[in-house]
Structure 1
Amino acid sequence: MKRLSKKALCLAAAGLVLAGSASVGSAYAYFTTYTEVSGGAVFNLGQTKTEIDERVENGTKIVSIRNIGDYACYVRVTAFAGSSYTLTFADGGSGKWSNGGDGYWYYSDLVQPGEMTGTLNIKIPQELLGDVTEDTELNVIVVQECAPESYDENGALLPNGPARFQKTAGN
């Protein structure tokens, strides 16, 4: 077997270093490429928030919802008076409240910031009113929820209803 001289080994090593260094430049450029961005945008996320306005007149709880948040929203309302009593709901004259079939009543229009819904009338059963004395209280609990306006993939405003609130809760 023939042995390589020192000179041949040095030439071979120099050739490998030269060949390797030729590809290092492009790899180095790949890992050190950068870009700069200028400008900016301010995002105000705000909030969607509502409050209940309710009063009792002649055995009927009259409810409306005010949007005190930053964005338009949909609302829905339900009420409870214990399992022994059945409350009766009815639109208060706006024609915009409807029964969703899931225990909630839905307001069909978006409620803009600072605006209030039309009234929803909740009739309190006469037997519940008869049970009220000086020592007991009338306790009809009103629950309302709001959800921000949203749009489908085609840009169409999604309507209010049970599916609208389920989709919002999942997001």
Structure 2
Amino acid sequence: MTRPAAVLFDRDDTLVEDVPYNGDPEKVRPMPGAREALGLLRERGLRLGVVSNQSGIGRGVLTEADVQAVNARIEALLGPFDAWVHCPHLPDDGCGCRKPAPGLVVEAARLLGVRPEECVVIGDIGSDMGAALAAGARGVLVPTARTLPEEVAAAPHVCRDLLSAVRHALGRRP
């Protein structure tokens, strides 16, 4: 396999600590190794995107402006991303964008000017891996306390932390 053209990250519990339905930029805390991991990718010229389920919008506890403010804080702390894509729908809405559906990955790849097959998706739960698989991208799971054992067992690749996941993605060269 070749090096990816783009790396897509789940947001909560992958790039930043999960704060349920966070609309407060002051509560944003990067995950350990996030700055270094993103720096490695930027040094190599890879495109970076974020794909995130944000059902708080559909639940009425967040607004689009809240999500954008949190995303702006993430960029202030971790540097710029080339694409931000989120699903505002509820789990039972049946949309094609909510992970594990492929919509977010496909849209991020389109915005980045690459094919989904040229992307690696890094996330912390099974729906992140499901979205990668459904879109034809490669998935790398970075488990957290909320990752289920069956999600770890089913993941195509598992790494202990974000920096290891990025190194794994970069090490897949012909």
- Measured against the shorter chain, the TM-score band is under 0.3
TM-score (norm 1): 0.23
Structure ID, larger Rg: 1
Question: Counting strand residues as a fraction of each chain, which structure ranks higher?
Answer: 1
The one of the two structures with greater contact order (alpha-carbon pairs below 8 A, sep at least 6) is 2
TM-score (norm 2): 0.23
